[in-house]
Amino acid sequence: MQQNLATLTVHAGEARRKPYGALTTPIVQTSTYTFADTAEVQDFVARKDAGLPKLREEYGRYGNPTQEAVEEKLAALEGGQRALLFASGMNAITSALLAFLKAGDHLVLIEGCYRRTREFADDYLSRWGVTVSWTPIDDFAALEAALRPNTRAIFAETPTNPYLRVMDLARLADIARSRGILTLIDSTFATPINLRPLEYGLDLVIHSATKYLGGHNDLLAGVVVGRAALLEPLAAARAVLGGVLNPLDAYLLLRGLKTLALRVQRQNETGARVAAFLAEHPAVERVFYPGLPTHPDHAIAARQMCGYGGVVSFQVQGDLEQTGAFMDRLQLPYIGPTLGGVESIAQQQALFVSGDPEKRREAGLSDNLVRYALGIEDVGDIIADLEQALGGVQ
């Protein structure tokens, strides 16, 4: 029976009958798995040498039952054949790029990617002989012009942080597929509830599972989802590089995923209402939200996404100090650098990037930009709090 996403978040990837008759998948908190005798070791090695599916685990860096239940659930949610968990979102990104790129390769990054992804590409991949080009998210002519005979991969993010730009994934996939170029998409802001990039022909989907997938701001994790054969070299790289997710965080992620559909639906609804409120407020200069007709990528988002997400970015009237004063008047959200959890979190993003005004400008961040990552609180309370805080903007 084909199940919808809300049902898959609860049941996919988990055995119907679990150890000890438990309802929840247990935490297998071990680094090592033992063998009963030499014959069992020989059978294990023979199956591995023959490329047969493993029947048991050997060592924590190579697999864990709790982790694998989460991987199967995430593969089902994204419509992929396999998923691989990592110790963080950045570990998923860096491991994937290291696994699929080598000296002499060329990588195209779409502008708007997470700044640490950009930093890894510019400061680390270049050390190892990988060249990197950047192209705008909405200029496909520039993208095609940037491609070279040695272009191995295109890495994009949608929606982007903090301006929530949305890339046309079908066009990206068409361009890359015709040239045999690997496509990787960071879909953290969308979640599989709002967007499933594999359905548009992309090769690999990456999430910082720390955010919406975990949903409770209590774990670090990353995931890569795609075709099973394509993920084989990445699985081998993970075993060597060692960026595995620990069993406790895997369990916390499994628990968080069970409410993903409910949480994202609530955050979608709240995001739409908050964006509409801010768009009409005289103390707000501009709102960035794909659900608004004024957003440059609204038409793409409306065609491609099932919901517009729970992050709203906006510019308030004023400078760095006045925006900071607005932030301090907010009573409901915490101030911090993350998103996607049940608690609302806001940040004056420029301050988290650099204290140097020039570096903030280079990063494309205005001093009066606020990114508000909405939680699951009552939307009326969120808007009332924004109203009182904006009331003090001069």
Q: Which residues are catalytic?
A: 61, 114, 186, 211
**Closest CA relative to residue 367, chosen from 337, 305, 322, 333:** 322
Please, which residues have CB within 8 angstroms of residue 69's CB and are 6 or more apart in sequence?
A: 13, 14, 15, 25, 250, 254
159 prior amide bond cis, ω within 30? yes
> Contact 32/56 with Cβ under 8 angstroms?
no
Using CA atoms in the order 273, 278, 280, 283, what is the torsion angle rounded to 10 degrees?
160
CA distances from 108 to 69, 168, 219 (A): 33, 16, 31
Chain CA centroid to CA 17, Å: 31
Q: DSSP label at 283?
A: T
Contact 291, 308 (CB under 8 A): yes
- Give the C-alpha distances (Å, rounded to integers) separating 371 from 79, 293, 311, 338, 339: 30, 19, 7, 10, 9
Residue type, 354: S
Q: Tell me the residue ranges of DSSP E strands in 101-210.
A: 106-110, 131-135, 151-157, 182-186, 204-208
Alpha carbon 245 to its chain centroid, in Å, reads 16
Q: What one-letter code names the amino acid at 331?
A: Q
Q: How many residues does the chain have?
A: 394
* Helices H / strands E in the chain, number of each: 16, 12
Closest to 350 in 3D by CA, of 339, 336, 340, 364: 364
Dihedral angle sign, alpha carbons of residues 146, 147, 148, 154: positive
